[in-house]
Amino acid sequence: MKKLKRSARLVDMTYFLLQHPHEIVSLTRFSERYQAAKSSISEDLVIIKEMFEDEGYGALLTIPGASGGVKYMPKMNKSEAETLVDQLVIDLNKQERILPGGYLYMMDLLGNPKLMHEVGRLFASVLHNKQIDAVMTVATKGIPLAYAVGQHLGVPVSIVRRDHRITEGSMVSINYASGSSDRIQTMTLARRSLAPGAKVFIVDDFMKAGGTLKGMVDLLEEFDADLVGIGVLVEAAEVNERLVDDYISLTKLTDVNVREKRIDVSEGNVFEKY
Amino acid sequence: MKKLKRSARLVDMTYFLLQHPHEIVSLTRFSERYQAAKSSISEDLVIIKEMFEDEGYGALLTIPGASGGVKYMPKMNKSEAETLVDQLVIDLNKQERILPGGYLYMMDLLGNPKLMHEVGRLFASVLHNKQIDAVMTVATKGIPLAYAVGQHLGVPVSIVRRDHRITEGSMVSINYASGSSDRIQTMTLARRSLAPGAKVFIVDDFMKAGGTLKGMVDLLEEFDADLVGIGVLVEAAEVNERLVDDYISLTKLTDVNVREKRIDVSEGNVFEKY
């Protein structure tokens, strides 16, 4: 790369850091790439750090020592997070979402990569001080959210499946009780798709009693993996007995009235600890 | 926002443009945000444009006129794309991927959000001069790729499903012949998850005879939607009769020998038109 002015260097460094969240990037790497003194690079990083932190894009951590460098951790400041959740609440309350049986149509939200990306950044922000090695979800609707969170945390995604048409080698299956119907179902994860001992964040689009999430928690045990937390886009509020205790919800569905075409969605518990 | 120096402004503009691919951003927006003259903003954009284009991150188009501004289109230059495909070829040739029946384990690649993001940028680069309104795929394994492409193109994702446990309102189903087994199967897409008249790019992780892809092409007709193109991560080369003609493949699987634990994967057709 040709020698750059500071202005061009800042554009390139910003681009690079955004593509490599949660990775330690050594000052030497930048210094060699731009043929610039480490002192100049440090000054550049101060400018980026201030801008990112002022605007709530994330934190730029300095890691001292021989293997040190900087690490970009995507975050979302509270006011931006509130705006995002407010918008989700407005969108979810639209009566045209109501489907027969009181289900809500959500694929317009889940099918929007930019929205999912922002929701992923919100979850990454809540989780910024946790060590997480993988994100787990269950096919199909949890997948967009899981990738968005995984991308911001810089970790892989494990997809649990409910079908059996799987060609992924040795599999681990468990039975679980779907909380809403009490029906016994099976979920399956490829043995090699989650490392033993991994610290795992579980996500899904919707939680009612939490039977599916509880199934995934049980599945973690089969992999000697540890649960770090659970995140959902929507929790259903009126549930007799919740099968998981600790979770982060962005929104809460209190009521769906099919006859009167009324939905009641409000903010979830996410800001209790933000 | 407080008044910024050019250096800080460049960091913020780079961040903003990366979060808003394929969107027209007016100079007025930037000018108001930074309390800076449009002439200064234009100079900033020249710096970003040069850097992005020199490094092959993408193009910054200037749209003239009253509703004009700039538009960031993510791209990948050819040498970076070749490095990515070379790496995929090396990874796919690893013999530990071979599963009983000659299938290949690919979830380590599909489960890597950063890799999928780069693959998405490559496809967006190939497609940069096409008008695309939506990306379509079939659950489950095509989903990560579809989101990565959709994110770079700034368009929504439609997920076709093969199961029937769906609560998404009115659905459109078609039958299709899975090329490999000649078995008649059903695929389904929610009526409201694809707009009539949409121009659609279809992606999947793997293509053998192309029966599933052909099914999705047929499904487009039911939505009065138009096919723009097809992209796959891996095509299987040894096929008697291919059911789709025109597709972009990143890699090509010529042979899997379960007994000798040998895989033969090489570059796909992607560079024929790059």
Which residue in B has a C-alpha nearest to residue A121's C-alpha? B19
- Closest by Cα among A210, A219, A204 to A171: A219
Quote the tokens at residue A177: 């009780």
What pLDDT is stored for residue A66 in this prediction?
78
pLDDT band for position B179 (50/70/90)? low
Best interface-test mutation with A: which of B2, B41, B107 has the largest number of A CBs within 10 A?
B107
CB contact under 8 A, B116 and A51: no
Q: Which of residues 250-269 of B touch A (CB under 8 A)?
A: none
Nearest to B107 among A11, A18, A168 (CB): A168
CATH 3.40.50.2020 range(s) for chain B read: 78-272
Nearest to A158 among B103, B111, B150 (CB): B111
CB contact under 8 A, A7 and B6: yes
Say what the ipTM of the complex is: 0.95
> Given this structure, which CATH class describes domain B6-73?
mainly alpha
What pLDDT is stored for residue B54 in this prediction?
94
* Number of CB atoms found within 10 A of residue B241's CB: 7
CA separation for the pair A41, A35 (Å, rounded): 10
What pLDDT is stored for residue B17 in this prediction?
97
What pLDDT is stored for residue A23 in this prediction?
93
Is A204 in contact with A232 (CB distance < 8 Å)? yes
Element (DSSP H or E) covering residue A265: strand A262-267
pLDDT tens-place string over residues B70-103:
999 999 999 999 999 999 999 999 999 999 888 8
Instruction: Report the relative pairing of strands A226-236 and A171-177 from DSSP bridges.
Output: unpaired
What pLDDT is stored for residue B26 in this prediction?
95
How many residues in chain B?
Answer: 274
Considering the domain B78-272, what is its CATH architecture? 3-Layer(aba) Sandwich (3.40)
> Is residue B66 pLDDT above 90, yes or no?
no
What pLDDT is stored for residue A274 in this prediction?
87
CA separation for the pair A165, A163 (Å, rounded): 6
Q: What is the mean pLDDT of residues B150-155?
A: 97
Positions of chain A with pLDDT lower than 50, given as ranges: none
Query: How many contacts does A have with B, using Cβ atoms within 8 A?
Result: 146
Q: Which of residues 153-212 of B touch A (CB under 8 A)?
A: 154-159, 161, 163, 167-169, 190, 192-193
Q: With contacts defined as CB-CB under 8 Å, which chain A residues touch B159? A: 107, 111, 140
CA separation for the pair B75, B56 (Å, rounded): 6
Query: Does the beta carbon of A150 lie under 8 angstroms from any beta carbon of chain B?
Result: yes
What pLDDT is stored for residue A212 in this prediction?
94
CA separation for the pair A107, B200 (Å, rounded): 17
What pLDDT is stored for residue B180 in this prediction?
63
pLDDT tens-place string over residues B157-177:
999 998 766 678 899 999 998
Query: Does the beta carbon of B53 lie under 8 angstroms from any beta carbon of chain A?
Result: no
Q: In angstroms, what CA-CA distances link A60 with A56, A120, B1, B89, B95?
A: 11, 18, 20, 34, 40
CATH 1.10.10.10 range(s) for chain B read: 6-73
Q: What is the mean pLDDT of residues B233-256?
A: 92
CB contact under 8 A, A140 and B139: yes
Nearest to A169 among B12, B105, B144 (CB): B105
Measured between CA atoms, how close is A57 to chain B, in angstroms?
9
Quote the tokens at residue B155: 């368009």
> Is residue B226 pLDDT above 80, yes or no?
yes
> Is residue B6 pLDDT above 90, yes or no?
yes
Quote the tokens at residue A152: 């911001």
CB contact under 8 A, A157 and B111: yes
Q: What is the mean pLDDT of residues B121-136?
A: 96
